[in-house]
């Protein structure tokens, strides 16, 4: 009985830790090809693709107090073109006056899957190449979310850098979890291209996580 009481007390002490942030796993399922909007001359059904950079972005309520971060709010409809245009770059700091309209988040709130070694953030792997070239359709990466998971202004985004024939990033909506506590700790996305869709040349990334 004494051991059981101590165990229960320990659980009570530990429980609030996950109310304010937990390690997360992101499961990514990709189609055969990804990021193929730059090949408009090819038949949709036969287009290949190029490596696709993903950014996992963790936004906490306090981040939205900064004027430059107001567009990161979960109700602002932020799309990938704006994120990749205005995300922080190497050399940016919280007090960099020359940052202009670029967002400010520290590097431990941005988790990058990219082949670009100069991308700002914490690297969690290379860019996606599609299930055919990567040799697998599904895999996982890990990241930390260290803010309140139940706050209405807490949000996790996953942005994909889908590019068109002119090299411009397409306005693809990100996958979004708001608030993260409404979902299981192991979150999931599907990413790729759908030859039957014309919006954003069929490029997509979407949240496929079950709610709690």
CA-nearest of 159, 178, 172 to 53 is 159
- pLDDT over 90 (residue 198): no
Taking the mean position of all CA atoms in its chain, how far away is CA 65?
21
Contacts of residue 60, defined as CB under 8 A and 6 or more positions apart, other chains included, come to 109, 146, 147, 148, 151, 153, 154
CA-nearest of 26, 209, 22 to 113 is 26
- pLDDT over 60 (residue 211): yes
Could you give the number of structural domains in the chain?
A: 1
State percent of the chain over pLDDT 70: 85
Question: CA-CA distance, 48 to 36, in Å (whole number)?
Answer: 6
pLDDT score of 99: 80
Instruction: Answer with the residue of higher pLDDT: 211 or 96.
Output: 211
Residue 11 lies in a domain: no
Residue 80 lies in a domain: yes
Residue 187 lies in a domain: yes
- pLDDT over 80 (residue 153): yes
Strands annotated E in 31-185: 54-59, 110-113, 122-125, 138-145, 155-160, 175-177
What range does the domain containing 92 cover?
19-207
Query: Per the omega criterion (within 30 degrees of 0), is the bond before 179 cis?
Result: yes
Q: What is the pLDDT of residues 30-71, one digit of tens each?
A: 999 999 888 755 555 555 789 999 999 999 999 999 999 999
CB 81 within 8 A of CB 160: no
pLDDT score of 101: 86
Q: What SS3 class is residue 46?
A: helix
Kindly report the pTM of this predicted structure.
Answer: 0.87
Question: CA-CA distance, 28 to 189, in Å (whole number)?
Answer: 5
Instruction: Answer with the residue of higher pLDDT: 190 or 95.
Output: 190
CB 102 within 8 A of CB 89: yes
Task: Please give the structure tokens belonging to residue 72.
Answer: 């990161």
Residue 184 lies in a domain: yes
How far, in Å, are 36, 104, 211 from residue 123 at the CA level?
24, 18, 27
pLDDT score of 84: 98
CA-nearest of 57, 98, 63, 58 to 80 is 57
- The one-character DSSP state at 132 is H
Residue 13 lies in a domain: no
CB 157 within 8 A of CB 83: yes
pLDDT score of 18: 53
Residue 103 lies in a domain: yes
Residue 107 lies in a domain: yes
Residue 89 lies in a domain: yes
- pLDDT over 70 (residue 4): no
């Amino acid at each position: 009985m004494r051991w059981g009481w101590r165990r229960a007390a320990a659980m009570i002490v530990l429980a609030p830790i996950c109310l304010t942030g937990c390690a997360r796993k992101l499961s990514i399922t990709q189609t055969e090809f990804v990021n193929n909007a730059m090949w408009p001359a090819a038949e949709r059904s036969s287009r290949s693709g190029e490596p696709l950079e993903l950014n996992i972005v963790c936004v906490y309520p306090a981040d939205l107090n900064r004027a430059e971060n107001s567009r990161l709010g979960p109700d602002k409809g932020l799309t990938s073109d704006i994120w990749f245009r205005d995300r922080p770059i190497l050399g940016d700091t919280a007090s960099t006056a020359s940052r202009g309209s670029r967002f400010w988040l520290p590097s431990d709130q941005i988790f990058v899957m990219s082949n670009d070694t100069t991308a700002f953030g914490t690297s969690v792997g290379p860019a996606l190449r599609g299930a055919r070239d990567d040799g697998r359709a599904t895999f996982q990466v890990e990241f930390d979310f260290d803010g309140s998971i139940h706050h209405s202004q807490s949000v996790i985004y996953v942005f994909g850098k889908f590019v068109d024939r002119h090299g411009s990033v397409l306005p693809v909506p990100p996958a979004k979890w708001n608030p993260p506590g409404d979902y299981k700790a192991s979150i999931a996305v599907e990413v790729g291209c759908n030859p039957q869709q014309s919006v954003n040349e069929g490029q997509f990334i979407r949240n496929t996580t079950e709610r709690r």
